[in-house]
Amino acid sequence: MLSYRHAFHAGNHADILKHFILYYVLSYFNRKDKPYWYIDTHAGAGLYDLSSHEAQKVGEFREGIHRLRIGSQLPETLTAFRQTLDASLPGQHKDIHYCGSPWLAQALMRPQDRLRLFELHPTDAERLRLNMRSIAESHRAQVFCDDGFKGLLAMLPPPSRRAVILIDPPYEQKHDYQQVIETLKSALKKFATGCYLVWYPCLSRAESLKLPENLIKLMPNNYLQAELYVHHPRADGFGMHGSGMFVINPPYDLVSILQNTLPELVTLLSQDDGARSVLQSQIA
């Protein structure tokens, strides 16, 4: 089933949390000269037009990136993140665009680093190829229209023995939750030292509620869990009221960064008095 299209949701509150953490992790990896790989299992189209029919139909970006762009008195971490996002976007009218994870990654990564991008939806895979063509021509990036779960395992371990891996499925199917766990188990056996970032939705359904607990079991001594809730769960139980990021082998200072930044994101992106954050970790 290939019904999910991120163009309808680009720039929403979940993207802000996901991309802030990705931005910080990649910046951390850039502190060392040694090259690394970025592997994205569900890469999407890479770049999104917020004036498009898809983005305007749902309008979720108005409660996400729009608030970040007009926000004042932001902490230094969010100001730097906003500047990085804006600098990465093409053209003069940057406010009508938003970057996907691959676009943000290529803006941060260096010439010696490599991107391996998977997208199963054929339309989005073709858009991703077009959007990433400049660095693909330089052999820095490869785009695959393929199953990212299987593709990830085929890439491990990377030659550089350093990698940031983003696992970001749509979770439209219940089996996506179990697939994340099974893929991570296999990935850790092949490449235990990789930095794995798993995004997940916060929903009123058992699979979503159970996922963080199952993720902790995979790496109980070296993980970080960050969740951002923007409103109370809906009375009917439907819809995403927040999202989370689970990081295996996180940068040592990511906890302190999020301790200061997550409360600011709650204030910035809150939609009602149910907005809150969760942060827990065990760092080896």
Rounded-to-integer distance, Cα 4 and Cα 144, Å: 18
Helices vs strands, H then E, count in the chain? 11, 10
Longest dimension (CA), the chain: 51
95, two tokens: 């406010």
Q: At 121, give phi and psi (nearest 5°).
A: -70, 120
φ/ψ region of 73 (left if φ > 0, alpha if ψ in -120 to 50, else beta) reads: left
242, two tokens: 């927040």
Active site residues: 168
Q: Which residues share a beta bridge with 199?
A: 245
What contacts 123, CB < 8 A, 6 or more positions away? 5
The DSSP 8-state label assigned to residue 193 in this structure reads T
